[in-house]
A and B are shown apart, each in its own frame.
Chain A
Amino acid sequence: MQPHSGSDAVIVRVPSRAEFAHVLRAVTASVAARMSMSYEQIEDLRLAVDEAAGRLLALGGSTLLSLRLVALADGLEAVVARGAVDAVWPPAGERESFAWRVLTALVDEVAIEGDANGPAIRMLKRAPAADLAPQGS
């Protein structure tokens, strides 16, 4: 993944509890809507963020859950990440899991990422070029 300037990224951090995943979903939907994604694309991306958040929360621990959204030339990139956790990442057989199947069906690209600083799942939903600046008047 090539580094982004940072100025065009939307970043949200929430406590690592399932009830906060809706904040990530809502922010994702809002940003995707600004990029003029379709209803279906937004629904897919929102489900994918929810699923990715669920995967990372299942690792346990109490480090923050974060979402980073970046508008790219070919779509919207969403990286869901945790701070460092004790659990093994990715778990054995992650790419054969049902969750992985779900993610790959919902978005165009999925990658397992992460290092000593924590696990992450990067996703790309393709869409026509757009930027995140507020539209309209």
Chain B
Amino acid sequence: MSSGSSATSSDRGAELALFERLPDEAARADLVSMFLPLAEYLARRFDRRGEPLEDLVQVASVGLLNAIDRFDPSRDVQFSTYAAVTIVGELKRHFRDKGWAIRVPRRLQEVGLRVNQVLPELSQELGRSPTVEELSNRCGASPEEILDAMEAVQAYSTTSLDAPAGEDGVAPVDVLGEDDPSLEVLEGWATVEPALRELPARERRVLYLRFVRGLTQSEIAEEIGVSQMHVSRILAQTLRTLRESVDANPPRGGEPREADPDEA
């Protein structure tokens, strides 16, 4: 076991020697493998934000390559420090680019937030869910913009429509985990069961309320204390997650079966 400090100084020597050999490809590859654990470590810190970890490691690796190419060994900065800053920058940029803030044009973000506000008001006034035209009139946006905003909400996972009552706040549903009836009821669908178990309690509860109890999106929104658009997003993304898990682990069988009497 080498002590931390001596390992660091000898690593630093080896590191600098490699930098001196750049742009030699072998030296570059050695630097990459030397610091890949750092990239992986930083990628993991950005995990659980709705992006697959392997994608994040990929992004972090790009940051590492950039750091290697741009590092100036003559300056009195440890490469690991420089690399960490570059990698984190790359990861943040990735989230910014993929997220609501950049990918969805500002105008659409505004319309989305407006729809989010107006939906409960209008639903209450009308005593039913409003049409797109009614939303359009109330929001001062075209029907096309309303539709685009609806699609954007379901398509992007990093939106923050419900920050106060959502992922980061203390939503009433967070307390529900203990005696959550939904798992029991939802079980029995063998193909999705493993994925159901891995869902957060709130996501499972939304599925249960929608598909077992048959509540509408607005009723669910009221029951769990988030906006209707947020319910819509949870439904779209949870169904997608379940489908992907089924596709990844197809049920056993698949051999030709006998004719299904239902089909006649």
Seen from chain A, the residues whose Cβ lies within 8 Å of a Cβ on chain B are 22, 25-26, 29-30, 33, 36-43, 46-47, 50-51, 54, 58, 87-88, 90-92, 95-99, 101-102, 105, 112, 135
Contact = CB atoms under 8 A, between A and B. Distances in A.
B189 A101 contact: yes
B177 interface: no
28 contacts: A22-B151, A26-B147, A26-B151, A33-B131, A38-B128, A38-B131, A39-B130, A40-B216, A41-B129, A43-B150, A43-B232, A43-B235, A46-B150, A46-B154, A47-B235, A47-B236, A50-B240, A51-B243, A58-B250, A88-B256, A90-B260, A90-B263, A91-B254, A92-B253, A98-B186, A99-B246, A105-B211, A135-B133
Nearest to A21: B240
Given A29-B147, A39-B135, A58-B246, A97 B263 contact: no
Contacts of B155: 22
A41 B150 CA distance: 13
Contacts of B114: none
Contacts of B131: 33, 36-39
Q: Which of A37, A90, A101 has the most CB of B within 10 A?
A: A101
B211 A40 contact: no
Interface in B223-264: 228, 232, 235-236, 239-240, 242-243, 246-247, 250, 253-254, 256-257, 260, 262-263
B143 interface: yes
B210 interface: yes
Interface in B182-221: 186, 189, 191-192, 210-211, 214, 216-218
A96 to B, nearest CB: 8
Chain A binding surface, main DSSP class:
helix
B119 interface: yes
A19 to B, nearest CB: 10
B42 interface: no
Given A39-B119, A42-B150, A98 B253 contact: no
A47 B129 contact: no
Contacts of A91: 254
Contact of A43 (B144, B191, B217, B250): B217
B132 interface: yes
B117 to A, nearest CB: 13
Contacts of A46: 150-151, 154
B164 to A, nearest CB: 22
Contact of B243 (A36, A58, A135): A58
B64 to A, nearest CB: 28
